[in-house]
Structure 1
Amino acid sequence: MSTSTAAPGTQQEQAYYGDTYLFESAATVVAAGTDGDVAWAAVSPNIFHPKGGGQPSDEGTLNGIPVIPSRGDDGLVVLTGGPELAPLAAGTAVECAIDAALRKRHAALHTAGHVLGHLGEARGWTSAGHSHYPGQARLDFSPEGLEAGLATPEQREQIRAELQEAFDAVLARGGSVSAAMDGAGHRVVTIEGVNSEPCGGTHVARIEDLAGVRVLELKIKRGALKVRYEAEHI
């Protein structure tokens, strides 16, 4: 990317860190340029979550023009548009909007993934990966620490039912979901009564905002356990 009028050390407020439900915002271009014939811009405050951490990127518009957010090499979240997006200059005032329904879906899947991951670790499992994509949401657990009773489909179905029951208990109890920066500058997401862990994704405001949570399937692949799940926002 070739940058126009981007000052060294440019700062960008990540507004989505503090408010999952901020779907529209006025902003100012803090860096901009072109990549071939494609214009891009970084704005602040930024409401767009870029792809990362197992969560897909938001979809939205910049001045009404569709853009795709991504994380640049310098750490800025940059918005790339199609041919309709004209090159912008730093200091330009713009209007940003994201797809609210998609944002809430991503947040629900991410929060549900944290809860389900905690329930797996409570059984002695070791997290080894995750995806919070709609229709593809799953948690991976390494072979180390897996209990013996996972060999047959019947055994895995029993444990799936136990995980569902445990998740339903978390939903019934409810609680807040919050995020804050720790002393080292890392963002930590805390789900009340569940856990706290570093995370840069979007999350629901309360556990009660989750709906349609289903533990779909437990599957063993190359010795590792894959737990598929689904979740929606109320």
Structure 2
Amino acid sequence: MHQIQHYLEDTYCFSALSDVIASGADEWGQWIVLRENIFHPQGGGQPADRGWVNGIPVSVRKLGSGQVALYPAAPFSAPAQEKVTSALSADDRIRHAALHTAGHLLNWEMRRYGWMAVRGHHFPGESRVEFSASGSQAVQPEQLPTEEIEEVIRTRLRNGGRVDTWYEGTTRMSQIEGAEPMPCAGTHTDNLNKISTFSIKAIKFKKGTLRISYDAGHIALENEPV
């Protein structure tokens, strides 16, 4: 049966009522699939969401079918003909979204210096983007103006700007206002002004790859479950 992926449509959807449309077991344990899925599975450089179904903690994985499955930490039996309640950690979700969106913004800013992103890793405490030079005119790593790059990005965040997602065929696209669209299946803030902090932690260059480690935070959400 078709699974609705709410996490791709609304970053700020933190809970849902849903039917269980499939269940089974594999090497990771018992799993269930909900029709109304709010959970982001690990992938694309972003960690999986953390959450609960009917109050039971679950881990999140994507099945070979493409459906997102939830693995309850305790034996789970869905009540017959009743919907179950799913909820995720809002704190984790918005932190991941802020890091992911900030990584896209860093990629866009670094193009001014002749560097193109080739890989992103948006886990809390270890977020980084890796770049390769787009040509011989790329600014040498030791000459990159770290403080200026930080300030330009912080100014963009203060000024705000829409972050949109949509589909072109089966490919999900993401675009920060004023930047070009790119394929992405991660979660994002809906506006840059929801990212409260940004800092560059380190810049390293090895074997032709420039790695910029960074951190970012999301504004606090009021009256939301965590």
Calculate the TM-score normalised by the size of structure 1: 0.86
The one-letter code matched in structure 1 to 2:71 is T
Partner of 2:222: none
Q: Secondary structure at the match of 2:115?
A: coil
- Residue 148 of structure 1 and its aligned partner are, at CA, apart by 4.9
1:209 and 2:194 aligned: yes
Any unmatched runs of 5+ in structure 1? 1-9
- Residue 194 of structure 1 and its aligned partner are, at CA, apart by 2.5
Same amino acid, percent of matched pairs: 37
CA distance in 2, matches of 1:181, 1:162: 34
Q: Secondary structure at the match of 1:126?
A: strand
- Is this contact kept in 2: 1:209–1:233, CA < 8 A? yes
Any unmatched runs of 5+ in structure 2? 220-226
Partner of 1:166: 152
- Is this contact kept in 1: 2:78–2:84, CA < 8 A? no
CA distance in 2, matches of 1:197, 1:165: 24
Calculate the TM-score normalised by the size of structure 2: 0.89
- Is this contact kept in 1: 2:154–2:197, CA < 8 A? no
> Which of the numbers 85, 98, 101 marks the counterpart of 1:95?
85
The one-letter code matched in structure 2 to 1:107 is A
Q: Secondary structure at the match of 2:95?
A: helix
Partner of 2:94: 104
> Which segment is superposed worse, 214-223 or 68-77?
214-223
1:135-174 alignment, distance < 5 Å? 135-143=125-133, 145=135, 147-150=138-141, 152=142, 155-156=143-144, 159-174=145-160
RMSD of aligned alpha carbons: 2.0
Q: Secondary structure at the match of 1:218?
A: strand
CA distance in 2, matches of 1:173, 1:134: 24
CA distance in 2, matches of 1:196, 1:169: 21
Question: What is the number of residues matched between the two proteins?
Answer: 218
- Is this contact kept in 2: 1:32–1:89, CA < 8 A? no
> Which of the numbers 35, 42, 58 marks the counterpart of 2:26?
35
- Residue 37 of structure 1 and its aligned partner are, at CA, apart by 8.4
CA distance in 2, matches of 1:37, 1:57: 15
Partner of 1:4: none
- Residue 162 of structure 1 and its aligned partner are, at CA, apart by 2.5
- Residue 122 of structure 1 and its aligned partner are, at CA, apart by 3.1
> Which of the numbers 71, 74, 79 marks the counterpart of 2:70?
79
Change in 2 beyond 3 A, CA 1:109/1:148: closer
- Residue 88 of structure 1 and its aligned partner are, at CA, apart by 4.6
CA distance in 1, matches of 2:206, 2:79: 50
Partner of 2:223: none
- Residue 173 of structure 1 and its aligned partner are, at CA, apart by 2.6
> Which of the numbers 88, 101, 114 marks the counterpart of 1:124?
114
- Residue 223 of structure 1 and its aligned partner are, at CA, apart by 2.5
CA distance in 2, matches of 1:74, 1:91: 24
